[in-house]
Chain A
């Protein structure tokens, strides 16, 4: 009767194994971790990635929620708006990173041109890591916004109208309605969106690789983020063990953040 079961279990276990294999290769106790703590590049990457994640999550969730609220109401053309805001989510990252590179170009980019109207001198948006991180945050929010919007819209539409009617009878409206009714009922999906955004933000790589790596970027403009550091140590310097230690740190960070987010939002609920 259960002919299919062993097949299924084998594949399930094989899937399982991919994770367990993780710390195979060169592993020398805690030496890698000790080294990591003194590695300026790693610490810089950690700081950059965290800064990046905080702002991308904050902006993409707040803007996504705003959009979802605007689009959940009785407005015309909502389908068209949704499609447009969603478009970057499914567009491949590399061509879009190239397009944004030109927008941010210090000499001929449109952003500096627009700013020059306001009398703001040319900004090297991608020529130094301190500024480049903000450029990449903007680009990444642009890319991720639609996903959050779509999920939050589903959440908003699932809130029964009866709640709003009851609140309206009690005289609640506008901001109060949003804070007292919408936000609490939206909590589970909001939590999910925040967790997913955080995980994605901590794994940022492609846009950083395309927009700040290589000959076209000014020397020293490379924005160091964790996955880039893992890539460089593991696949350019072939320090697989060391890179693995970094990957473990990344995993632990993501795990810890997820747990904390669950905690905070659950506690709020009580």
Chain B
């Protein structure tokens, strides 16, 4: 199984998200994936990720959201990351807005790798120091370096 730092795309890191609303933020992050060529059918992908979002809150609290989906429209398991200074309302159970948003996209036939990545990332993001450092990271390289350091 791959590490988070191996599937988090450096080109897929947005340090200052333009959008402020949940659906628009998911779209902004999805567009990164589309632009980088990981999505075969953007419409299908977007509709599937929003369908899940409507059924459950992917805001896991502590200022984190992990929107995710497994779809035929995805070529390989990848993660894109966006940071929002103001925070985005992801209907987290703790009522706090999400500042660190990780979007995970996995192919339909890679269920175990996808679940493994979701579990690893959720576990990793429970670490207070890691979240503080991610909120302060100055560039994409630093984001990757922080993730690498904490997942050892």
A and B part of one assembly: no
User: Which B residues fall within an 8 A CB radius of A?
Assistant: none
User: Which A residues fall within an 8 A CB radius of B?
Assistant: none
